[in-house]
């Protein structure tokens, strides 16, 4: 299953490039350019009135598309923001410092940096469970959650620095004895890469993801599912969180919506949401599910592993649950990345780990070409 036909503009712009960084900046399908132009044309035709369309049509449809993908009942629990950092900060603002946080040592740079800064400022006390060894991670993390000593639990569904996928989120979440604790799942490396079903825990967890990576929609289109009743009045707030009260005047107490928009911020560029809507529509029209995407990526991964041109030690080991990229531990990660980049083969690296990502715009011939390049640069 290859959807190469849908990426003509990206291929035309740089026909010699072989893109294997599908865990980072995906190529964008052609439908996203049409959507971007639609956002511009709406601004030209409607000016300020464009927001009636954005909030009345574009956002509700995108919410419904996302809700179907992650299996939540009420699309209105979803709020959008330009990045997940904004959303994490608003959730944190609901809690009284010092906030006791449980997380891992494998979270993405934004949360890792922010949580460390909270520690420096005396705003948080953070315990980080090592992601490795992977085969005991869930057991070790669940044990800490079960202790019930935390105000905020933050966990990636797929770890960005290895691709390891946490399969038993339902068990981890349900093990918490503290109903008042906020539980956040960072789904950025899972959404549109591996099947996500938070239906059983939708009333208990915040789920964050966005369009930059596997949703192929680019920057500026992040979202969060907000469980009812958690964080009714974020201290970090923007005027969109009180959008419904704009025409009724100011009350003595700052008003909030009761749905996901209580975590909304302020004015942002809505074009990313147009693009995300177009990509999700396109995949649906093509009859392509997230399970299909993951199956395709897994098949391409298997082809590369069978080619036996591996540039290091596979992390986690073969057979472990993983997302849509392979990670190879090697002291030469940066050197291999640069040699590939010189050949217009795009991968990336994190410290001593080379990452190779797989997507719907690739096929078996691309993997064969990649294997040949790896033979020559190792």
Answer yes or no: do 23 and 40 share one domain.
no
User: What is the span of the domain harbouring residue 183?
Assistant: 35-283
Q: How many domains does the chain have?
A: 2
Answer yes or no: do 352 and 222 share one domain.
no
Rounded to whole angstroms, how far apart are CA atoms 155 and 132? 14
Answer yes or no: do 22 and 148 share one domain.
no
Helices (H) and strands (E) in the chain, counts: 12, 13
Structure tokens at 173: 């979440």
Q: State the pairing for strand pair 182-186/152-156.
A: parallel
Answer yes or no: do 313 and 240 share one domain.
no
Q: Say which residue the tokens 């997230």 belong to.
A: 290
Answer yes or no: do 248 and 271 share one domain.
yes
Q: Residues 77, 83, 89, 92: is their CA dihedral positive or negative?
A: positive
Secondary structure E strands in 124-267? 124-129, 152-156, 182-186, 205-210, 222-225
Q: Say which residue the tokens 């995300």 belong to.
A: 276
Final residue in a domain of this structure, among 248, 283, 318:
283
Give pTM, 2 decimals. 0.95
Residue 176 phi, psi dihedral angles, 5° rounding: -70, 125
Rounded to whole angstroms, how far apart are CA atoms 48 and 126? 44
Helix (H) / strand (E) element for 314: namely strand 313-315
- pLDDT computed for residue 249 by the predictor: 54
Q: pLDDT of the chain along its 378 residues, tens only?
A: 789 999 999 999 999 999 999 888 899 999 999 999 999 999 999 999 999 999 999 999 999 999 999 999 999 999 999 999 999 999 999 999 999 999 999 999 999 999 999 999 999 999 999 999 999 999 999 999 999 899 999 999 999 999 999 999 999 999 999 999 999 999 999 999 999 999 999 999 999 999 999 999 999 999 999 999 999 999 999 999 987 654 445 667 899 999 999 999 999 999 999 999 999 999 999 999 999 999 999 999 999 999 987 889 999 999 999 999 999 999 999 999 999 999 999 999 988 999 999 999 999 999 999 999 998 987
Sheet with 99-104, edge to edge strand ranges: 78-81, 222-225, 205-210, 182-186, 152-156, 99-104, 124-129
Answer yes or no: do 39 and 18 share one domain.
no
Answer yes or no: do 50 and 143 share one domain.
yes
Answer yes or no: do 134 and 204 share one domain.
yes
Final residue in a domain of this structure, among 265, 283, 301:
283
Q: From 186, 196, 225, select the one nearest 103 (Cα to Cα).
A: 186
- pLDDT computed for residue 1 by the predictor: 74
Answer yes or no: do 107 and 202 share one domain.
yes
For residues 216 and 281, the answer to whether their CB atoms sit within 8 Å is no
For residues 307 and 364, the answer to whether their CB atoms sit within 8 Å is no
Final residue in a domain of this structure, among 283, 308, 334:
283
CATH of the domain at 229: 3.40.640.10
Answer yes or no: do 294 and 255 share one domain.
no
Answer yes or no: do 259 and 190 share one domain.
yes
Answer yes or no: do 360 and 345 share one domain.
yes
CATH of the domain at 16: 3.90.1150.10
- State the DSSP code for 213: S
Structure tokens at 266: 């302020």
């Amino acid at each position: 299953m290859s959807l190469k036909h849908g990426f003509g503009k990206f291929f035309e712009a740089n026909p010699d490039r072989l893109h294997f960084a599908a865990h980072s900046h995906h190529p964008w399908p052609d439908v996203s350019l049409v959507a971007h132009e639609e956002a511009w044309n709406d601004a030209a035709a409607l000016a300020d009135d464009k927001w009636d369309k954005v909030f009345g049509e574009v956002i509700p449809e995108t919410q419904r598309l996302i809700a179907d993908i992650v299996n939540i009942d009420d699309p209105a629990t979803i709020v959008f923001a330009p990045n997940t950092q904004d959303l994490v900060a608003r959730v944190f603002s609901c809690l009284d410092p010092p906030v006791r946080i449980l997380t891992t040592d494998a979270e993405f740079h934004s949360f890792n940096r922010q949580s460390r800064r909270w520690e420096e400022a005396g705003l948080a006390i953070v315990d980080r469970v090592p992601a490795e060894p992977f085969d005991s991670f869930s057991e070790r993390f669940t044990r800490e959650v079960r202790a019930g000593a935390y105000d905020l639990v933050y966990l990636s569904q797929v770890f960005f620095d290895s691709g390891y996928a946490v399969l038993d989120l339902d068990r981890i979440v349900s093990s918490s004895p503290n109903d008042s604790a906020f539980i956040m799942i960072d789904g950025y490396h899972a959404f549109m890469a591996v099947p996500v079903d938070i239906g059983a825990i939708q009333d208990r967890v915040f789920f964050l993801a966005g369009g930059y990576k596997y949703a192929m929609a680019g920057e500026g289109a992040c979202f969060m599912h907000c469980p009812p009743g958690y964080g009714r009045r974020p201290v970090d707030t923007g005027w969109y969180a009180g959008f419904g009260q704009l025409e009724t005047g100011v009350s003595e107490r700052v008003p909030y919506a009761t749905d996901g928009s209580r975590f909304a911020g302020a004015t942002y560029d809505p074009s990313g949401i147009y693009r995300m809507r177009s990509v999700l529509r396109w995949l649906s029209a093509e009859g392509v599910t997230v399970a299909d995407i993951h199956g395709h990526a897994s098949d391409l991964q298997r082809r590369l592993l069978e080619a036996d041109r591996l540039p290091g030690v596979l992390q986690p080991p073969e057979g472990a649950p993983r997302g849509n990229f392979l990670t190879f531990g090697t002291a030469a990660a940066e050197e291999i990345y640069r040699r590939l980049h010189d050949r217009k083969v795009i991968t990336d690296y994190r410290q001593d780990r080379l990452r190779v990502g797989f997507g719907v715009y690739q096929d078996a011939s691309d993997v064969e070409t990649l294997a040949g390049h790896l033979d020559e640069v190792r």
